[in-house]
Chains A and B, each alone.
Chain A
Amino acid sequence: MIQKLQTNNNQHWKKIIFFLFLAFTFTAQAQNSVVGRVADETGPLPGVTVLLQGTNRGVTTDFDGNYQLSDVPPNGNLVFSFVGYLKEIVSVQGRTDIDVVLKTDMASLDEVVVVGYGTQRRESVTGSVVSIKGDELNEVKTANFQEALIGRAAGVNIQTTSTRPGAAPQVRIRGVRSLSGNNDPLIVLNGIPFAGGLSDINSNDIESLDILKDASSTAIYGSRGANGVILITTKSGREGQEATFSYNTYYAIKEVFSKYPMMNAAQLIQLRADVAANNNGVPIFGLAGDEDLANNTDWQDLLYGTGLQTTHDVSVQGGSEKGTYNLGLGYFKETSVVPEDSFQRYSLRAQVDQEVGSLFSFGLNSVMNFNKTSSIVGMYGALAASPLLSPYDENGNFLSSVRRQTQSDDSWIPTRNEIGRIGEGRKNQQLDYGSYNNIYAQVRIPWVEGLKFRINTGLNFRSSRDGNFTGRGVFNYNEANPSSGSYNSSNTRDYVIENQLLFDRTFADKHQVNFVGLFSAQHTEYDGVNLSVRNIPNEQSLWYNLDSALSEDITGYGTNYSATGLLSYMGRVMYQYDDRYLFTATVRSDGSSRLAPGYKWVTYPAVSAGWNIANEAFMENVDLVNSLKIRVGYGQTSNQAIAPYSTQGRLATRNYNFGSTFATGYFVSQLPNPSLGWEFSETYNYGVDFRLFNHHLSGSVEYYITNTNDILYGLGLPATSGVGNVTSNIGETQNEGMEFTLDGTIIDNPDGFTWDAGINLYYNRNEIVSLATGEDRNEGQLWFVGSPINVIYDQEYVGLWNESDPDFQYQDILEPGGNVGMVKVRYTGEFNEDGSPVRAINADDRIIQDPTPNFQGGFNTRLAYKNLDLNIIGTFQNGGLLYSTLYGSSGYLNLLTGRRGNVDVDYWTPTNTDARFPAPGGIQSGDNPKYGSTLGLFDASYVKIRTMTLGYNFDRDLTSKVGMRNIRIYASAQNPFVFFSPFHDESGLDPEITNSSEGNRNAATGVGNVSAGIQTIGANVPSTRNYLLGLNLTF
């Protein structure tokens, strides 16, 4: 920038001399007045500088984008410039009326970064911040912004937790650090911490999304920012903008990405025969009940249909001289391939900003949404159903209810037909209403230049209601199974009040000072009520007449309440000298209600510095480098990552009956901890940002270390203490990682072909440095000092036992009662002198397996030719482990006994000895093959194309004829391809996880040997491949 200015100065003098010369030469010529109108794609642009080239004579456009410049020589040039737009130079050529449309400058647009309590130019940022524009986000069409973020930002890992429509994925910024506390980042919507559900935000409403990753940037959010901060800014109007209407829509068809690979009838029969071979000639489960050799039913085909996804978004935005507004309405609907699985969202957005007089301004930013979610059937029934059963009666008609028996199981099997037939016999409806409102008032202090006081108030409300009903005998083998219904309702009320003192001024042209002082108070209250009953007399009443059931048919009821508060003081100074030396310092104090008296308050600092090397004089002549900055940051943050009331201990309740007298019992399940305090994280962050080759290549490299101390967790106490656990400050973890981002314009021809490409790549290594004193491992929680927080702790699968193995002679010692073809796991014990192992394989042979990927990332590329563009976005992961409950023993779909539907796996037989899966019917552990849990592990590497979009922008000439500013149509394929995935190769399934159990430890993943935070792929609603057509209109 400096370099440019100096260049301009030199030219300036030359031009002035030249101009004087011209002036003398052409004084005789007539000088005209030129008028015109400056606009951009969306409307007139006020405030554009119009300069007669070579002079310092100029004007700015008025509110309607109009300008008038007198005394313009007919052969002069007019220079139109405006921040964020490409400079336009137009030769007058004798005209008196010149209209100009300015193009946005992509390189400069992302220069403004939201950093929390203010914005900064990208050049001035000293912390670690990733910014993503709403348009980029919208290239992937999903119900929530998190999913659209997958693979878009280095260091930001997003995992789908469920493939249900509308389900919000889990976001982890630079890994996990807290053992049992919350690892979710803070989301800030238009400046106010967001209290809502993560599916409440319509990604179409998002103008920009800025992610603060390191402690020096998140320190301003204090204890809430320990896991990173996502700042969401919704769209707003612009001052002087002409009212603009836009309409965006698309319609997508969703098809099953890949069916679960279940055995067909012949394969299941063969499996049972192979079981018998290993079980003294007797199958463990034979053809029985309703099974028939003539059947070969694919239950998945009978269940799946086509899902759809669609949106309609309309908005109007504009502005006056002193105010702006934006109003938007959105509708989103998604259904899945499984019947009656759906998510709908109606959203309303309103933004108004108004200056009053010269000192005051006021504004409102409000987002409201109403969601409707339904989900009534799971996948397990269809997958576990024997293909030897049939849904038809002897005449080939659908059974009126698919209740079928096998030797050991009585089951009702879900089919699309059955679910359609049952109609309201099974119904689920979850309604969520959220209202998030940010109101501010700001006053400029007239007697101190650059000083403002602002009061910000966030008033948020969210209510949720979940109704469930199952009719008598519905979805159940037992026709007489009583009906049941439940009603859950809860609401969250939340307010934030922030008093801010803002100061921003540049002294002596070179000293830029920005100060923010803050006092804030936040309070959140939650309460809820639930009731569930059975034997509802009139089934039409669904969950609306639960009181009609007998009181003895109440199966559950309760009320719930929690309240938390947080008080904070914060000060931040940003100082910048001559655009070269940058410095930021923050101090924050937080007080939290969740912690013990005397330990509630904490104060911590953060500092960061940057050096814009490219702005130094010695770089003046290095044309190659447009910008180059080195950043260093250090910050402390803390985390109150425990549930409210954790310091108080807990009395658990248990219900009992003395004959017909009912009573409730109490016992101490958790001890109080009167000295429970904060969990701390310290982060060191080092970064380099660069922009090279005339802005054609930009990128950054970052390295960080985060040490987290005094970790909060529920310390398990030995059974003999008589108490389950106590929440304590114990333990230490470390996260360390690197992030690379590179964006380039490879070909840039505005009138022809352009090609942009970007890639980001990162890794995060995480390690438990210490646990409670004297504890170097906690097997119950699967925490081990020196290992990552999330691990697999199990015996290690090394193959199958074969007679040809050199150590087969020791199988009797290692595996008493074992058999050929059983899973072979690594023996880690001692050996006798003769080489024989000293003991049988047992729990001591469990070893820690690290599931952390080597690196992960995403890529995107955009090819455009004239009005046509093609976008491709992908993600990848190298290394790491994923756990599939489909193949492992916890899912009950790979029993290998022939009991139920089984995954089609390559199992051991005497003629197929190098299989991956064990001999069926061999030694069992529970209902599964021994060491069945080891069968669920796969290399988690993959490369995936998430979306490919082909778009066309109609010519402006054409669009203006129909009164439009802009028309764009596009077609897109989501999830089209997966490459290099061992799991995909085995199963054909999507290797991106469908279930992460953290905070939701369920039977399928709560297996003792896999950490709750590990990605798992289970029997969820299958992931889909989507094909969509979309239209954007602006007028």
Chain B
Amino acid sequence: MLMLVGLESCSEDILQEKPRSIFSPEFFKTELGVQGGITFLYENMRHLYGHEYYFSLLETGTDEYTYAQSADNNFLVPDLSGAGAAIQSDTYVTSIAWNTVFPAINTASGIIENAEAVELDESLVAEARFFRAFNYFLLVQQYGGVPLDLGSGELEFNNTAVRTSARNTVPEVYTKAIFPDLITAVNNLPVNPRLTGTVTQNVARLELAKAYLTYAWWLENPNNIPTYPETTRTDPDGHDVQWYFQQAYDIAVEGIENSGPYSLQEYYYDVHLGSNDRNSEWMFYADRTEESQIYNGADLGYSGGGGSANIAVWMATPNYTTISVDGVAAVQREAAQSYGRPWTRMAPPVEVLTKTFDNKDMDSRYDGTFVSSYRGNWDKAGVKEESITGANGLPIELGDAVVSFLDEHNPNVDYVNGANIGGGVIPGRADYVINPDEINRRFYPGLWKLGTYRTDNQGGLGQPNGALTRPFPIAKYSEFYFVAAEAAVKGASGSYSAYALINVIRARAGNWRFDNGEQEVRIADFSDELVAATPMNIDINYILAERSREYFGEQKRWLDLVRTQTWAEVAGTYTIAGNAATDHNPKQFTRTIEDYHYLRPIPQSQLDDLDMSEAEKLEYQNPGYR
């Protein structure tokens, strides 16, 4: 009894809370907290780069991709070809960026604000500045003007429960946030990365050059695309369009000449070879790891999508697992770069194979981008057969092509629904073949460059259903050449011409060490031929085509077309056959791309959470989506 009374005497204490297993925001003001804030800025990139629907948003509806047979609204809608509903404020895919980056912007402001108190090194503060600019740049390209004041003042860390918002204009976002932050970042970031994949001076240079280039296009506005909130196309800092193109050029050339730890790979094939990930050409990426599920942020065994999982490539992978030859499921789902988990949500239109990548023999980038042959791997599933009987009664051995996409149209292809996936037969070949101009939404070349890479298959099929453990590229060293070339096309001048810059890229593309489609060594150098084929007068369309060859499927295409205001022109129509594997009669589809589509709608969830009048909310929304 005495003990009980004794217990009571300390009872007032039981009303005091001591958080132990959670972090309260106070921790963010400590040194470790601020450093953790920087880590979060990197991690947050995962929620965009490799995210399957964000991947769709920036690819489906461009000339690179259309929806495929198993597509849902996340693909049908952005395709704008009438198969899905119109893009509206409650469309999920267009809300992803908006709903992902503001916490990062706020955290970056918090780091900048708390840096002094915890004596944070200027180079670390510069990383925060880089990310704040990067995220604002991403928003301004998709939504137009966005708020710089999150609730506690312009570019201040917000810690108040604010439920109103006001959008700044596009030039304000560039000149108040993006440019000053990136200039500081270029000045204060180290030349070499602090840790694997952290940002450096040159990464900031590339972003700054791209931001100048994009802003210059915006100021020029060649096709009269409206902006919002409405504003005149004059620069608050008093510079003209040409000044910004020249800045883009100058900064990009500075990046090329002061490359730091970055360089071009000798072969394009090596740029995206899984075993060569994080190579010298990759400047910035959203990293993932096979070494720990916890730090990978997504299931290594069986993963859904969303969040930080990298499953983008599954969208662009056709369901090859239904391939069946001689009663054998010849191509099994395998955790390897040419295979992976097939979701069949996105397909490249015919023009990708016939126009963008027309020179498949010399330009190694087709071979280093796509899966052009699906090859037998049935042994890994425990099927004993040494070989199976393929087309023309000929044997297909393990590792041989079962179905191939031909480089060029062959009029002799006889479609016999070969391999149960609509394959055709040509004399003398054991594999079933499909003409490049006769692909359909059901079966088409997969996207090798982003494909699965694992080291734990132990000779079997491995775990193809786990989220990818590869980093997703955000910025590569090669892009300096493209940015400078594009600026040059737009009138910037200096020591390198657009022709010279593009030819650096094209010369590399002509260099072969391995044939991915044939899966055999191929030592060849077509650099001279490719350079010879480059037009002397490069125009913006050529730059865009070249960018597509270089960066196909890397979540850049929509931004490229919107920046250059060529979306409707380049992607207005496309050709592909239907949903059935046996359909080899392509049809042309027309997209309805209106001027207002160049801005994405402000997400409905944002409007719902605002404590503002209906009229103010209407005003907040971009025109065309009200």
Contact = CB atoms under 8 A, between A and B. Distances in A.
The 3 closest A-B pairs by CB, nearest first: A722-B106, A565-B14, A659-B196
Nearest to A407: B322
B491 interface: no
A242 B42 CA distance: 75
B572 interface: no
Given A407-B319, A651-B25, A843 B88 contact: yes
B212 to A, nearest CB: 26
Contact of A722 (B14, B150, B196): B150
Contact of B17 (A408, A553, A648, A669): A648
Nearest to A459: B4
A772 B163 contact: yes
Contact of A521 (B11, B90, B461): B11
Given A484-B301, A592-B15, A665-B43, 17 more contacts: A282-B578, A289-B322, A455-B1, A552-B291, A645-B19, A651-B23, A656-B295, A657-B288, A657-B292, A658-B196, A660-B289, A665-B44, A716-B609, A721-B163, A722-B102, A722-B103, A778-B608
Scoring B161, B606, B608 by chain A CB atoms within 10 A of each residue's CB, the highest score goes to B161
B162 interface: yes
A407 B443 CA distance: 13
Interface string A643-660: 011011111011111111
Nearest to A281: B580
Given A561-B21, A654-B40, A773-B611, A728 B297 contact: no
A817 interface: yes
Contacts of B293: 534, 553-556
Given A521-B14, A654-B308, A656-B295, A648 B24 contact: yes
A593 interface: yes
A691 interface: no
A555 B296 CA distance: 10
Contacts of B611: 772-775
Contacts of A840: 85-86
Given A552-B292, A655-B294, A726-B161, A668 B110 contact: yes
A666 B15 contact: no
A723 B103 contact: yes
B399 interface: no
A521 B8 CA distance: 7
A370 B291 CA distance: 40
A208 B611 CA distance: 50
B333 A410 contact: yes
B437 interface: no
A563 B287 contact: no
Contacts of B258: none
B264 interface: no
B40 A567 contact: no
Given A457-B4, A665-B40, A666-B33, A594 B17 contact: yes
Contacts of B43: 654-656, 665
Interface in B454-477: 458, 460-465
A224 to B, nearest CB: 15
A720 B165 contact: yes
Interface residues of B, number: 114
Interface string A900-932: 000000000000000000000000111100000
Contact of B105 (A556, A648, A660, A722): A722
A809 interface: no
A719 B21 contact: no
Interface in B75-110: 82-86, 88-90, 98-99, 102-107, 109-110
A563 to B, nearest CB: 7
A556 B102 contact: no
Interface string A152-193: 000000000000000000000000000000000000000000
30 contacts: A284-B579, A407-B319, A410-B333, A457-B4, A478-B461, A480-B462, A481-B302, A497-B4, A534-B301, A554-B292, A554-B293, A556-B294, A561-B20, A566-B14, A650-B22, A650-B23, A658-B196, A661-B195, A661-B196, A662-B295, A666-B36, A667-B44, A672-B24, A673-B161, A719-B102, A721-B150, A721-B162, A721-B165, A722-B105, A843-B89
Contacts of A777: 608
**Majority SS of interface residues in chain B?**
loop
Contacts of A527: 21
Contacts of B70: 408, 927
A481 B17 contact: no
B426 interface: no
Nearest to A716: B609
A100 interface: no
A561 B88 CA distance: 44
A671 interface: yes
Contacts of B83: 817
A816 B88 CA distance: 14
B295 A719 contact: no
A667 B460 contact: no
A23 interface: no
Contacts of A673: 161
Contacts of B171: none
Contacts of B46: 656
Contacts of A659: 195-197, 278, 287, 289
A499 B103 CA distance: 49
A408 B88 CA distance: 30
Contact of A721 (B19, B151, B344, B460): B151
B483 to A, nearest CB: 26
Contact of B292 (A662, A668, A773, A816): A662
Interface in A763-778: 772-775, 777-778
Scoring B18, B20, B22, B72 by chain A CB atoms within 10 A of each residue's CB, the highest score goes to B22
Nearest to A600: B15
Contacts of A478: 461, 463-465
Contact of B8 (A497, A645, A662): A497
Interface in A915-964: 924-927
A92 interface: no
A665 B42 contact: yes
A280 interface: yes
Contacts of A417: none
A314 to B, nearest CB: 33
A567 B278 contact: no
Nearest to A557: B294
Contacts of A671: 25, 159-161
A289 B323 CA distance: 9
A774 B610 CA distance: 9
A842 interface: yes
Interface string A563-599: 1011100000000000000000000000111100000
Contacts of A405: 321-322, 329
B39 interface: yes
Interface in A728-784: 728, 772-775, 777-780
